Amino acid sequence: FPEMLSNPRLIPVQGTLNVVMNQNVTLSCHSNSGSPPVRYTLFKHSQKVSASHRPDLTPSLFNLTINSASDLGEYKCKAENNISRGEKYSNSLNFTLIEPISKPVLSSPTSQAKKGQNVTLSCLSENGSLPITYVFFKGKESISPPVKMQKKEAAVIFLFINSSSDFGTYKCRAKSSFCNNTKYSNGFNFTLAEERSHSQPLIISLVLILLLFIIGSALVIPFVIIPSYKSSE
């Protein structure tokens, strides 16, 4: 006897409903029991998108391209066979549009530092679906645990400049929680701030003393040396 179809199951073949703009996706619609042949119809917002016939109980595959926000709407499929009123509807699916992360920018309020100084580094991807996880590196070695940001704000770490090696190249990595989208920043280097020489104040003092001596001599000459020269004539 002809058997009524089971409710079909609609699933994304790629395994996720997270998509980026202009992505190609495939939906599978499948009734695992019932009498073939089976006619499958895909709907979006109750409007027919595509249809196919299967001579057996193998899945029907529907290929889509996500071109706009309207393509994210609710999808369902219908399975029917030759039995009167033998149509069954699937679960519904909704796609979520995700934004790939942009290259993060690594920055600091100061580019110059000296030994014994505390500094900060900030890492931010301007674009990308949240949350975004940041990790900081010095060379190839990570120097921070992963920092997950739920808002469009920079991840910040604090560093203590203790030795010459702390002036090495720093980088940060931003990773999206969707689709394993990972980007690295440009390298950032602190430069050693020139410390004022201890001899500078001494040199300035000597110059000032010399200037005062010259000025003082210029003032004394007219009153002391010239009168004594005249009296000796």
Q: Which pLDDT belongs to residue 150?
A: 95
Q: Cα 57 from chain centroid?
A: 45
Confirm whether pTM is higher than 0.85: no
What are the φ and ψ backbone dihedral angles of 150, each rounded to 5 degrees? -90, -10
Residue 1 — pLDDT band, cuts 50, 70, 90?
A: confident
131 in the same domain as 90: no
Residues 136 and 143: their CA atoms lie apart, in Å, by 6
69 in the same domain as 17: yes
> Domain total for the chain?
2
Taking residues 89-113, report their average pLDDT.
95
pLDDT in tens, 13-72: 999 999 989 999 999 999 999 999 999 999 999 999 999 999 999 999 999 999 998 899
Residues 159 and 224: their CA atoms lie apart, in Å, by 65
What residues make up the domain containing 43?
9-97
Query: For residue 120, what is the domain's CATH number?
Result: 2.60.40.10
CA-nearest of 180, 125, 181, 182 to 155 is 125
List the end-to-end C-alpha distance of the chain, in Å, as a whole number: 152
Q: Are 19 and 68 in contact (CB under 8 A)?
A: no
Give me the percent of the chain exceeding a pLDDT of 70: 88
Q: Which pLDDT belongs to residue 230?
A: 56
